[in-house]
């Protein structure tokens, strides 16, 4: 049986521009390397300042190391994460013991000390490393303090959903202020830890093909003077030494970087500072944005007056969408006050027939007679299809309400805790006072999470027993209004002006959708969002998909026997216990969802594919099963907005 993932605190999904990575296997490298330190290639922007030698003059101490007492500059801390501002000269982390503590060592010690103060007993460290900066670089880093934060932040870095900006001081004149460009190459690391840049043709060489990693860096000139350029850097990928190697490739290495042929060192440190870091909170989904000012030396090196301090602290959280995440289109209203007027009171016209309770069918672990075989038994049997059978008018989960509630509240499905709820909150961005509708709310597991933000939440479901169960669970946020309603008769509620509507694992149990989505659009305000999550229709289609094992290649794969044809299938609610209790699930290809959303006046502005977060028990296939589980998504999440 697959077990929950136990993350390795020293493992990272990807490094920042100053990150460290695993050395590539030893072997010859055919591509031309960056010229070694001390060589003087021709400069494109004027004479070389050869009179300014790298490093301090005689009698001057080398780059100072910060003392341990002022190393840990905490920017933000809560139960799930810790954001720190790293000084130059401090190693982010190391798998090997060091003479001096690394930043990660200090973070673990801080977490241990905090835990002792709270619990009056010593416990193991609860800190996980997510990304790194080079020793001589400075700036913002985030560490996880919980398993769910580690899982989500790791996936966010891997999926490039994290906003990262750097301030870099480079030698020479890259261009006039405002000049922008992109560097895209492949990077490879040798056994000495030195990174080489190569183009596509070089990366295809047989001896480096598996080692070369695509790297993309965007830059914009802030100022240029004194034969130096101040640059704003945004990373699309996060490879070791990425910024340093790419600027050296342009002929403009970072100051203070002798490894990549810099000849000057006006800052007496590496000219790289991680100034902006933005991501969604793994527990609340709230957008967090942090800023750290670079030292005045960065600006003085190009004769530029440092920017004035903002009215708020440079490291204060900004609870707005990062620029990279802002949806495009006239329907998006980013930070306008939530409308308060002309909002009708939540009301329901009456009790209606039932349909569409929220649920997630556990597709990571199955017993015979359920949707698919387990990854540990990829060829396990699946139920026979009932494509041509007619589902009943009601597909409510009312008959299994007690079991379903105990399944969720008793930890039966960690998919909700680790994946579904934090991912949905991240897409919804609930705020205090926002008016939200949770459609097919079931026993209220998402409804309560939305209410914790201070939002006004209306939970709607067709199962009286599930709603009774939902009302028994206390809300840790704003009061929740639960109403009985058929999702296909949503207009009967008379609700309009909603900021967002959610449907977590519910659309797959509702049919038809033709009347549901237009009613959702009418209930939303212009720019309001509809966020729904379903089992991935391409890779997790009920009955039509299953795990398979290739013994020759020792690879696990996903077998698909159908996709484009819509279908409906009866699903055993708790196979093995009472196989006679079933509900229905409806398969639709992605194009059907897109078409129905467009016909309802809803425009997609975000689409995410979420893998399962479980790990197999140790065994000969465990590593490959875990790889396949991470690569083949389990859920599809979509956010669509109502046009104005």
Residue range 329-361, pLDDT digits in tens: 222 222 223 333 333 333 333 222 333 333 343
The answer to whether residue 486 is catalytic is no
Q: Is 581 exposed, middle or buried (0-12, 13-18, 19+ CB in 10 A)?
A: middle
Q: Which residue has the higher pLDDT, 530 or 368?
A: 530
210/24 Cα distance (integer angstroms): 10
* Ordered DSSP codes for 111-167: HHHHHHHHHSS------EE-----TT-EEEEEEESSHHHHHHHHHHHHTT--EEEEE
Cα 356 to chain center, whole Å? Answer: 28
Q: At what angle do helices 590-599 and 516-523 cross, to 10 degrees?
A: 50
In this prediction the pTM is: 0.60
Question: Mean pLDDT across the stretch 54-77?
Answer: 55
At 432, is the pLDDT very low, low, confident or very high (cuts 50, 70, 90)?
A: very high
Backbone angles phi, psi at 464, to 5 degrees: -60, -40
Q: Which residue has the higher pLDDT, 50 or 416?
A: 416
User: Which listed residue (80, 85, 105, 134) is catalytic?
Assistant: 134
481/305 Cα distance (integer angstroms): 54
At 397, is the pLDDT very low, low, confident or very high (cuts 50, 70, 90)?
A: low
Question: Mean pLDDT across the stretch 179-207?
Answer: 80
Lowest mean pLDDT among 202-206, 211-215, 396-400: 396-400
Which domains, ranges and CATH numbers included, belong to the chain?
7-19+67-325 (3.30.2350.10), 398-642 (3.40.50.150)
456/433 Cα distance (integer angstroms): 6
User: How far lies 486's CA from each of 128, 350, 446, 494, in Å?
Assistant: 44, 10, 19, 13
Question: Mean pLDDT across the stretch 455-464?
Answer: 94
Q: Identify the pLDDT of residue 450.
A: 95
Q: Identify the pLDDT of residue 566.
A: 87
393/298 Cα distance (integer angstroms): 68
């Amino acid at each position: 049986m697959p077990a929950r993932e136990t993350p390795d605190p020293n493992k990272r999904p990807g490094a920042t521009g100053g990150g460290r990575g695993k050395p590539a296997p030893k072997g010859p490298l055919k591509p031309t390397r960056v010229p070694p330190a001390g060589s003087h290639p021709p400069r494109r922007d004027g004479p070389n300042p050869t009179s300014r030698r790298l490093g301090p003059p005689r009698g001057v101490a080398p780059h100072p190391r910060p003392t341990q007492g002022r190393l840990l500059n905490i920017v933000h801390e809560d139960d799930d994460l810790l954001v720190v501002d790293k000084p130059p000269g401090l190693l982010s982390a190391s798998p090997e013991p060091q003479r001096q503590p690394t930043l990660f060592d200090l973070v673990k010690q801080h977490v241990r000390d905090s835990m002792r103060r709270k619990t009056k007993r010593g416990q193991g460290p609860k800190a996980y490393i997510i990304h790194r900066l080079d020793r001589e670089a400075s700036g913002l880093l985030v560490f996880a303090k919980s398993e769910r934060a580690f899982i989500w932040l790791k996936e966010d870095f891997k999926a490039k959903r994290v906003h990262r900006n750097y301030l870099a001081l480079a030698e020479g004149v890259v261009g006039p202020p405002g000049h922008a460009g992109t560097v895209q190459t492949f990077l490879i690391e040798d056994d000495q830890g030195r990174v080489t840049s190569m183009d596509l043709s070089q990366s295809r060489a047989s001896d480096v093909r598996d080692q070369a990693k695509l790297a993309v860096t965007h830059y914009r000139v802030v100022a240029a003077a004194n034969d130096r350029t101040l640059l704003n850097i945004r990373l699309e990928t996060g490879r070791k030494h990425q910024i340093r190697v790419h600027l050296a490739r342009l002929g403009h290495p970072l100051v203070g970087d002798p490894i990549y042929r810099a000849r000057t060192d006006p800052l007496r440190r590496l000219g790289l500072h991680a100034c902006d870091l933005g991501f969604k909170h793994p527990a609340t989904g709230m957008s967090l944005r942090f800023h750290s000012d670079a030292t005045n030396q960065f600006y003085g090196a190009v004769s530029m007056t440092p920017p004035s301090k903002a009215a708020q602290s440079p490291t204060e959280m900004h609870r707005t969408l990062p620029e990279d995440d802002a949806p495009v289109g006239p329907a998006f209203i980013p930070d306008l006050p939530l409308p308060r007027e002309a909002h009708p009171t939540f009301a329901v016209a009456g009790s209606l027939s039932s349909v569409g309770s929220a649920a997630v069918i556990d597709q990571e672990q199955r017993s015979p007679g359920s949707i698919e075989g387990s990854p540990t038994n990829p060829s396990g049997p699946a139920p026979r299809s009932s494509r041509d059978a007619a589902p009943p008018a009601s597909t409510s989960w009312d008959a299994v309400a007690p079991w379903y509630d105990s399944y969720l509240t008793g930890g039966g499905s960690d998919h909700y805790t680790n994946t579904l709820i934090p991912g949905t909150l991240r897409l919804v961005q609930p705020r205090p006072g926002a008016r939200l509708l949770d459609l097919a709310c079931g026993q209220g597991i998402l409804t309560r999470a939305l209410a914790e933000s201070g939002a006004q939440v209306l939970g709607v479901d067709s199962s009286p027993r599930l709603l009774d169960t939902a009302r028994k669970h206390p809300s840790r946020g704003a009061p929740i209004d639960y109403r009985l309603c058929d999702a296909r008769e949503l207009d009967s509620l008379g609700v309009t002006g909603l900021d967002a509507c959610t449907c977590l694992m519910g659309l797959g149990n509702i049919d038809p959708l033709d009347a549901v989505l237009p009613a959702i659009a009418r209930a939303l305000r212009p720019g309001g969002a509809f966020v729904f999550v379903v089992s991935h229709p391409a890779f997790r289609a009920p009955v039509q998909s299953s795990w398979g094992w290739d013994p020759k290649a020792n690879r696990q794969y996903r077998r698909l026997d159908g996709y484009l044809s819509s279908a409906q299938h009866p699903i055993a609610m708790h196979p093995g216990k009472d196989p006679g209790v079933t509900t229905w699930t409806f398969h639709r290809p992605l194009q059907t969802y897109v078409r129905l959303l467009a016909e309802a006046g809803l425009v997609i502005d975000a689409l995410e594919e979420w893998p399962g977060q479980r790990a197999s028990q140790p065994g000969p296939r465990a590593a490959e099963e875990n790889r396949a589980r991470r690569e083949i998504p389990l859920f599809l999440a979509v956010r669509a907005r109502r046009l104005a």
